[in-house]
Structures are given as structure tokens and as C-alpha cells.
Structure 1
Amino acid sequence: MKAVIKVLVVFALLIVSGTKSIAQEISWVAPEYSSSLVNPFVGNQKATNEGKVIFEQMCVLCHGAKGQGNGEAGLTLQPHPANFLALNVKNETDGAIFWKITNGKAPMATYFELLTDDQRWKLVNYIRELEKK
């Protein structure tokens, strides 16, 4: 009887810890102030096109060509890269997405020093374009 209880306790702990790690993967929340950041390129098709070029150079390997988080390099990452077509991303503000690109969170790199503010905003524009397709 004690052995059965031990097995059940271990099983319950595995379920709880597994659920916690899944929740952490999908709940990367940008700070509240990021929602007040204003995208200077909203509606600017030229900026969106430039964002596509940046995306293809810097992001497609992990996030995939269509932004679904299924790029070759991203398949083995934990947590998996964001699926830009998912509701949790679609419901984020441009500022929150910009903040995440800027600051990163392992295994995603921070792009603060690699890309200019304008380049990061252009990426936000292109991510929004992916959501429309």
C-alpha cells in the first residue's frame, strides 16, 4: 500500500511540475508600460516590407517562414519559439511585441544591440502582416 502511495505522489508531482513548465512557456508577459509604446510605422507598407527582409535574415530560422514557431533551429528549443499566429500573440500590443524583441528571454536572444529601434518596429509591422495571412 505504501508503495502505491509513493508512486501516486511521484506521479502527481510530475504532472504538477510538467503543467508549470508548460504554463511558463506560454505566459511570457511584457511589463505593463510596454503597452504604452507607440509603433511609429503603423500602416507604413515600406516599413513592413523592410521588416520582412529583417525577419527572413534574423527570425525565420527559429520562427519559420510563416511565423508559426516551427523553424528548423526552433524545433529543439525549450521553450519553443512563439507562433505569431496564435491568439496570445495577436492579442498583444505592438509595444509588448517590440519589448520582447528588444529584451529577449532565453532561448530567444535580445536584439537591443543587434537591431535599431526602427528595425525592431519594422519587425513588429511584419509580424502583424503575418497574422493577416
Structure 2
Amino acid sequence: MAKENTPTLFFPAISLFLFIFLSFNTISAAQTPKWQAPKEARDKKNPLEANSSNLVTGRSLYMANCVPCHGNKGRGDGPSAAGLNPKPADHTSAVVQSETDGSLFWKIGEGHSPMPSFKKTFTDEQRWALVIYIRSLAKTAK
């Protein structure tokens, strides 16, 4: 009788093992490539001046659209962040702050799952204002 039960238990156990192995393998593989903007996008310069008006516009957009994932201070710790994979970027980090304005502008427009694309949501001017605000987050993080 033991031989009759062995295949019954073996196949579900193997299936569970493969599911777990492939899930972890997929997650790690999806996070290995660095998300980079194309060269043409990286080279774009922000046409907006980093003044108080553009900073206020960027902050308003950020508070309404980015805080749920990136948090009030841009550290990637918003209320929705815990359930996201990959985790939201920390906009105060040296990694984000070392990106060019054009790269940040492109990333806001394109999105990268789980972050949505904002190309159709925001005008170009609004996205550039967001870049100005993201730059300000590093200064307030100290």
C-alpha cells in the first residue's frame, strides 16, 4: 500500500518545489538589469528654471501622485511600498540624485512596473517640474 501512495504525494511535492524555485528565480532575474534611460533621453536638459514656482508645481504633483509609493520625503517608504516588487526608488539616494534630469524625465514618462507611465498623465512641463522637486528632496533629507 505504501507504493500506491508514493506517486500521489510525490507529484504535488515536486510541483510545489518547482513553483517556488521558478518564482524566486523569476523575481531575482527581473531585478538584475539596471533600468537606464536611452542616451538621447539622458542627454536632455531641463528647460525649466529651478525656481519656487516650478518647485511648487512639482511638489503638488508629487504629493498627489508619487507619495503613495515613494513617501512624503521621497525615501521609497510610502504606504503602498510594502506590497510592491521591486520596491520604489529612494529619491533622496545618491543613485537617483546622480541620474541626469533627462533620465529622470524619461523614467517618469515611461514607467517601469510596478510604476505606471505618466507620459499621458502629465505634460512635459509637469514632468520637468517633478524632476526639479525630486532634486530638492536630497537637500531636505539631511
TM-score by length of 1: 0.81
Cα distance in 2 for partners of 1:71, 1:43 equals: 25
Q: Equivalent residue for 1:23? A: 32
**Within 5 Å, which residues of 2 pair with 1:1-133?**
17=25, 20-24=29-33, 27-133=34-140
Unaligned runs of 5+ in 2: 1-20
Post-superposition offset of 1:85 = 1.3
Amino acid corresponding to residue 68 of structure 2 in structure 1 = L
Post-superposition offset of 1:28 = 1.2
Unaligned runs of 5+ in 1: 1-12
Give the aligned CA root-mean-square deviation in angstroms. 2.0
Q: How many residues align?
A: 119
**Partner secondary structure for residue 89 of structure 1:** helix
Cα distance in 1 for partners of 2:46, 2:74 equals: 20
Amino acid corresponding to residue 57 of structure 2 in structure 1 = E
